[in-house]
Structure 1
Amino acid sequence: MSQVQFNHVQTAHCESGVISNLFRHYGLTISEPMAFGIGAGIFFGHLPFVKVNGVPGTTYRIWPGAIFQRVCSRLGVKMQSQKFSSPEKAMQELDRVIGEGIPVGVLSSVYYLPYFPPAYRFHFNAHNLVIYGKNGDNYQVSDPIMDVVTEIDPKSLAEARFAKGFPEPKGKMYYPVQVPSGVSLQKPIRQGIEQACHYMLKIPVPMFGVKGIRFLAKRVKHYPEKLGDRKATLYLGNIIRMQEEIGTGGAGFRFMYAAFLQEAADLLQQPELAKLSRELTGIGDLWRNFAFNAGRVCKSRSADNVSYGELSEMLLQCAAAEEVFFKKLSKVKV
């Protein structure tokens, strides 16, 4: 089996991190924030009818796989992507491809990754990592949220690739088969910004975008009387967890998009994007403040805890700020 030199760079989020690391391997250098922005990764959704581990799902980024799909389409990268009916077929194909010296992106469940600390191993089935070779029987792993490369045994990797639950990874693996040597980023940046603004402002369904933040705010306000204290704490805890622990977290995604706007401002010589980058950083701080206070409510840490009503007001403040921000962004000529 050929040994591959793979340049591992730690990133904030798995999907945009794998994009950046894989593309760099093929000579197309693109930062993680740029990948996130071109892929219109920033989003919000609250899905009370889609239960994740028994509680409603909340997302602060676009659905898994969408960033990758959009970036590849906008930059002209062609990918080979496969899913499998059995772990045996999936592992055989992985061995074949990395045996040819090709690093492979893999979808996995965090729960079965033994190099994660136990506290971080939960049932999240949309984690992306790169397998770039083997050391004996073990697979060499570039996991973008880890500071160094690591290894994983075949049994754990097969379990991670075929974890049950929503969504099922089904052994998904992917790798570039055609990567352009150079690209102009102006059009992809414009397309990414236009799509992000549309998704945050114009989806008519009340559970998505800015409307979705307000939708969640109304529900949070009534959690205690509708759910009871224990369930209210469980639901609120999951909102924080999805914001601050899953990948980059809600506030983290706002900071990453702000970094994208700053990079785009420098690249395109568009100072208005730099101003909006600073504005979004302030919105990220609003989200962090909400998470901090919601965490105190969950833990009942102090006598002067904020109420669920006050948490609802904080979310409405986030919604108002994001609405103003995305309306301004939609008017910038890129």
Structure 2
Amino acid sequence: MEYIIEDFTPSGGKHCITNALKQVFDYYDHPLSEAMLFGLGSGLAFTYINLANSPMISGRTKPIEFEEKLAERLTIKAKCRKPKNYENCLVKTIKLIQQNHPVLIYVDMPFMKYLEMAPSSHFGGHAVVLFGFDEEKRLFYVSDRDNSDYPIHTPRGEIASDYHLVSYQEIEQARSSSFRPFPAKNKYFEFDFSTYTERLTTSIIAAIKDTCESMLNPPAKLLGINGIVKFSQEILKWQHFSQDKLKIAGITNYFQISQDGGTGGGIFRKMYGEFLLEVDAILPNKGIAELAAGFIHLGDQWDILAADLWYLGETGDSKMLQPLSKQISEMATTERTLLQQLKLMIDS
């Protein structure tokens, strides 16, 4: 038996979760841009993460936390399911698709073969949408963020498919993975849009205030603006890494910043700038467009850093670390100023 949700249209996008959500919102006739979804969920963040294989930075809030905030602000019923038994997870997934509900799931990226990731490049917070299945061939129809008119770059090349046919076995490995960071562990979302309320003005103000607070007054030194400052300090310690680990750190964090890694460019700062451009049309006379341009320019600076990190990944040249530290420190100061100005505008 083969079943495909007829009215679901796969589309490509900048970031996995905002693109997956965009497709779900479109399907239920409540279209919002990726940038608006990102901003409404208070997606902008920063974390410096120490992992054994390589230190890693992140420019967005945690998976699940982001989706739940977005749903709350738009009064959507969104339930994150976490079945312990994969067989139960599979049965429920098939049932939802047969009921014409696309299923937003989380997968560990190396197990999705079309992404051509290194086996050790675990990340279980990658979101895709299942919108069909073939029981006889044991395949799922998967929409990722690539599309025939939206190519994306993977570590080993470019992909651009409207959808991917992925075996049940691959999907099971990817969904049930417990590898850090952000273990997938069978998580998926069920949505109910019957209570949806587009209170954009109220929701936008709440979202921006939340972002400013979490970035300017984070609860830990590894988070928010403090985390960016910490990154500027910690990168100097990378000189003690073996050359192999230094190269891995460079490449890993290139993808955490670059649009190639699904950030929309500039470790999500460009997406936040695009969100603020949309906000400027909804909240007139606030002067937010100027700050939007500031975030987009800041994203350009992060992209310059990403290019340097790529070079670090190719050469393992530890002499780069001192100037990189200075670049990061300057960006922390710039972002703090932008967020302080944004907070004043929203509060006025």
- TM-score in terms of structure 1 length: 0.90
Mapped partners of 1:46, 1:266: distance in 2: 34
Letter in 1 for 2:174: A
What are the within-5 Å matches in structure 2 for residues 53-202 of structure 1? 54-117=53-116, 122-136=121-135, 137-147=138-148, 148-166=162-180, 167-180=182-195, 182-202=197-217
Letter in 1 for 2:281: D
CA contact (8 A) 1:61 1:250 kept: no
Letter in 1 for 2:169: K
Unaligned segments of structure 1, at least 5 residues: none
Q: Structure 1 residue 248 and structure 2 residue 249: aligned?
A: no
- Other structure's SS at 1:205 match: coil
Aligned to 1:320: 333
Cα gap change, 1:301 to 1:157, in 2 (>3 Å) = closer
Q: Structure 1 residue 293 and structure 2 residue 308: aligned?
A: yes
Aligned to 1:23: 25
Letter in 2 for 1:307: M
Aligned residue pair count: 328
State the 4+ residue runs in structure 1 displaced beyond 6 angstroms. Answer: none
Deviates most, 190-199 or 137-146: 137-146
Aligned to 1:43: 45
- Other structure's SS at 1:251 match: coil
Q: CA deviation at 1:160?
A: 1.0
Equivalent of 2:13, from 6, 11, 14?
11
- Other structure's SS at 2:62 match: coil
CA contact (8 A) 1:140 1:152 kept: yes
Cα gap change, 1:125 to 1:204, in 2 (>3 Å) = closer
Root-mean-square deviation over aligned CA pairs: 2.4
CA contact (8 A) 2:225 2:336 kept: yes
Cα gap change, 1:301 to 1:215, in 2 (>3 Å) = closer
- Other structure's SS at 2:313 match: helix
Cα gap change, 1:178 to 1:156, in 2 (>3 Å) = same
CA contact (8 A) 1:60 1:249 kept: no
Cα gap change, 1:233 to 1:24, in 2 (>3 Å) = same
What are the within-5 Å matches in structure 2 for residues 207-222 of structure 1? 207-222=222-237
Mapped partners of 1:250, 1:215: distance in 2: 21
Deviates most, 244-253 or 311-320: 244-253
Deviates most, 290-299 or 11-20: 290-299
- Other structure's SS at 1:217 match: helix
Percent identical across equivalent pairs?
Answer: 22
Letter in 2 for 1:37: G
Letter in 2 for 1:84: P
Aligned to 1:32: 34
CA offsets, 1:125-146, max 9 Å, x none? 1111111122453222222344
Letter in 2 for 1:170: K
CA contact (8 A) 1:77 1:180 kept: yes
Mapped partners of 2:201, 2:184: distance in 1: 33
Letter in 2 for 1:322: E
Aligned to 2:155: none
- TM-score in terms of structure 2 length: 0.87
Cα gap change, 1:299 to 1:2, in 2 (>3 Å) = closer
Unaligned segments of structure 2, at least 5 residues: 149-161
Aligned to 2:281: 266
Mapped partners of 1:9, 1:293: distance in 2: 31
- Other structure's SS at 1:333 match: helix
Q: CA deviation at 1:182?
A: 4.8
Equivalent of 2:252, from 238, 245, 256?
238
